[in-house]
Amino acid sequence: MTSTPEIIRRYFELAVGSDPEAYLALFAADAVVEDEEREHRGIEAIRAWREATPAVSYEITDVQQTAEGTVVTVTISGDFPGSPFAGLKHRFIEYDDRHIRRLRIAP
């Protein structure tokens, strides 16, 4: 397992927290999040996606550097059918030390 870049660690810390503005500040203004085969482009679309997503907790089970970017495999638990769900991959495709630009979430 590779070490996790700071911005990605912050993503998982803030995703379960109560500060949505700090979470959204992780994303570039033109960021794209793909989740459940839907694309959310820009901060307002990402905000709407997060508000509609049930609260979950994450257990990171693997981190790999690939040609596609950093792939973080997690088990998520929460109030949704099929919880807990193991093997969900967060593919941080484009990011730097300050912002996430492209994130794809899929098994």
Tens digits of per-residue pLDDT, 81-100?
A: 899 999 999 999 999 999 99
Give 3's pLDDT tier (boundaries 50, 70, 90).
confident
Look at the chain and count its residues: 107
Closest CA to 34 of 69, 6, 64: 69
| Predicted TM-score (pTM) of this structure | 0.93
Closest CA to 12 of 83, 86, 69, 63: 63
Give residue limits of the domains in the chain. 6-106
pLDDT at 38 (0 to 100): 97
Give 1's pLDDT tier (boundaries 50, 70, 90).
low
Q: What is the mean pLDDT of the chain?
A: 95
- What is the C-alpha to C-alpha distance for residues 79 and 71, in angstroms, rounded to an integer? 24
The topology (CATH level 3) of 6-106 is: Nuclear Transport Factor 2; Chain: A, (3.10.450)
